[in-house]
Amino acid sequence: GEDVEQSLFLSVREGDSSVINCTYTDSSSTYLYWYKQEPGAGLQLLTYIFSNMDMKQDQRLTVLLNKKDKHLSLRIADTQTGDSAIYFCATGANNLFFGTGTRLTVIP
């Protein structure tokens, strides 16, 4: 099956940029996703990128995809305390494979 790896924790100061990284093994996925999960809640889709793209920007979010290295990253500009959550990278088509999530803590 697909393996999706993420670092477990990231702490940043409010106003700084956050970069969350993800590596995956399945190169056949057409889309790659970033989801956000706040405590006790379900998953909120933040953004996704088509596999033939290198970069996608959506307001404060920038997704970079390096298909050769099977590396995906999510950059959050001007990180706010409300961005504190767990961020999941996911790949797949009909069924999604998720990483274990990166817990982002924003320090005021």
List residues binding other proteins (CB under 8 A).
1, 4, 30-31, 33, 35, 41-45, 48, 88, 90, 92, 94-101
Tokens of 64: 């970079």
Tokens of 108: 């005021």
Residue whose CB is less far from other proteins, 45 or 78: 45
* Shortest distance in whole angstroms from residue 1 CB to other proteins: 8
The amino acid occupying position 94 is: N
State the chain's maximal CA–CA distance in angstroms.
40
Task: Pick the closest to residue 88 from 3, 25, 21 (CA basis).
Answer: 21
Residue whose CB is less far from other proteins, 8 or 17: 8
* Shortest distance in whole angstroms from residue 26 CB to other proteins: 13
